[in-house]
Structure 1
């Protein structure tokens, strides 16, 4: 099963939704199913500065007096999911270069891993994910080679998101035709995965008994 996750590194609900979906996907894999996840870019603030600015003042400017209440709510929800959001030291910055690096990581089979690392750097560590030095460090940490390419592909993906009518993230697109929007509860993701698997003939085999003696991958233990 192919799943594209449209998200932005600067979106806390994308971080939460990604974590919830990942746990649902692992449960499906444990039952014998296969899920291929590809990260797709979306920019909530394409005009944000690469220089970055403290996150709380940026949110107060955008949302006014409701900013503090909004922050506390998302911090509490994230904590319940085992995620740390530290807005006090957070940096609001342009995410285009982070998406470009995820595009390269995807080509190298590490797109999901790098996206998760960028989420943590942005929300828990107060790193500027537009800073070339920060991106170079995180790329090296996750084993991603930054060739400097990927910008044109990111623009194409952003254009595709607009063409699909995507105006909010996270959005989970299954097999290019079934969509689930928002940081849904895990049981909703479980149900969505199962429904898509059933509709597309990818339902995993149900195991009716514990494993017993047998042969595997061309070898037999006797």
Structure 2
């Protein structure tokens, strides 16, 4: 079973939704047969590469809030993250900056290290931003995070110095739009079920069970029929 996930690395609900899905997968009996694939989405395509404000200041500006009101809104989200085992106490100071280069590195990780390395980089980027308030538009930061999960330093530097994988990022965003996704996180299970938002763990668990059962239907037994003589690997009934 395959789960495609569209998200941005500076989206709090994307990180929360990912953690809730992971909790549902932890209790899913067929979890070893589920693959997660991460896709790019740019919440603010016009965000600067040189940040001039924090996430909290951006929130206040965007929604016409005072800094105190923005802090209260962020505090509620930070509390949700804490319930899931994530310490985001430094997040109010996270720089508001462009994420396209981080997404290009996620495509590099997928191309050169497969799903596992892509997932590792995704986790590392989320922690760097929400847990450590680091600037994900800073190439030195990106290089440190990417090489820290095993990506080749030379390849990372080459990608950051070019536009490599920019087309892949754009294609991901276009696919999300084609699915009708205007926000993230957005989950697509087996190209059949689309789910928007950081749903509760229980809903993800129900979705996993439903998608699994529908992809592997069990034949119905004819009413009244009982086991009868047959042959098997150990021989035939006599």
- TM-score by length of structure 2 reads 0.80
Task: Name the SS for the 1:39 alignment partner.
Answer: strand
How is 1:83-122 mapped onto 2 (pairs within 5 angstroms)?
83-85=86-88, 86-107=90-111, 108-109=113-114, 110-122=117-129
Q: 1:130 aligned to 114, 137, 141, which one?
A: 137
Q: CA deviation at 1:87?
A: 2.7
Q: CA deviation at 1:181?
A: 1.5
Deviation digits for residues 4-39 of structure 1, max 9, x if unmatched? Answer: 1110111100011111111222322x5565111000
**Contact 1:33-1:202 within 8 A present in 2 as well:** no
Q: 1:186 aligned to 201, 218, 226, which one?
A: 201
Tell me the matched-pair count. Answer: 202
Deviation digits for residues 20-65 of structure 1, max 9, x if unmatched? Answer: 111222322x556511100011111110001123221111111222
Between structures 1 and 2, the one with greater helix share: 2
Task: Confirm whether residue 173 of structure 1 aligns to residue 192 of structure 2.
Answer: no
Q: Show structure 2 runs of 5+ residues with no match.
A: 219-238
**Contact 1:56-1:88 within 8 A present in 2 as well:** yes
Quote the residue 1:19 is aligned against: 19
Distance 1:202 1:184, change over 3 A: farther
**Contact 2:5-2:36 within 8 A present in 1 as well:** yes
Task: Name the SS for the 2:36 alignment partner.
Answer: strand
**Contact 1:16-1:83 within 8 A present in 2 as well:** no
Task: Name the SS for the 1:4 alignment partner.
Answer: strand
Q: 1:74 aligned to 74, 77, 81, which one?
A: 77
Q: 1:139 aligned to 131, 146, 151, which one?
A: 146
The separation in 1 between residues aligned to 2:31 and 2:188, in whole angstroms, is 21
**Contact 2:25-2:31 within 8 A present in 1 as well:** no
CA RMSD in angstroms comes to 1.7
The separation in 2 between residues aligned to 1:31 and 1:11, in whole angstroms, is 29
**Contact 1:102-1:115 within 8 A present in 2 as well:** yes
Quote the residue 1:39 is aligned against: 38
Task: Name the SS for the 1:144 alignment partner.
Answer: coil
Q: Show structure 1 runs of 5+ residues with no match.
A: 204-222
**Contact 2:18-2:198 within 8 A present in 1 as well:** yes
- TM-score by length of structure 1 reads 0.86
Kindly name which structure, 1 or 2, has the bigger radius of gyration based on alpha carbons: 2
